[in-house]
Amino acid sequence: MKTKEMRDKETDHLRLELAEQQKHLFTLRSQAVTEKLEDPSQLGKARRVIAQLKTILRQREIEAQKSKAAGTQPAKS
């Protein structure tokens, strides 16, 4: 999934995707310890996707805080 596709999705869907990717990373780490991975680069790819998802979610959180703060400030007379 590309970053643009991630940004187009809803926040709830991104949170679910993040949880799914974290489970996938856990599975990959378990396989790396117990048996040989077919593609060791999957670990890095999974970590990158998790980082992208977290970044997008944090950006949305900051934007929400800014809009909330801007909406609650009293108008200057």
Note the pLDDT of residue 24.
Answer: 96
φ, ψ at 2 (rounded to 5°): -85, 165
- Which residue ranges form the domains of the chain, and what is each CATH number? 3-72 (1.10.287)
16-55 residue pLDDT tens: 999 999 999 999 999 999 988 889 999 999 999 999 999 9
Residue 74 scores a pLDDT above 60? no
**pTM (two decimals):** 0.83
Q: Name which of 42, 46, 41 is nearest 17 in CA terms.
A: 46
Q: Name which of 9, 2, 11, 5 is nearest 58 in CA terms.
A: 11
Distance CA 48, CA 51 (A): 5
Q: Name which of 38, 5, 10 is nearest 49 in CA terms.
A: 5
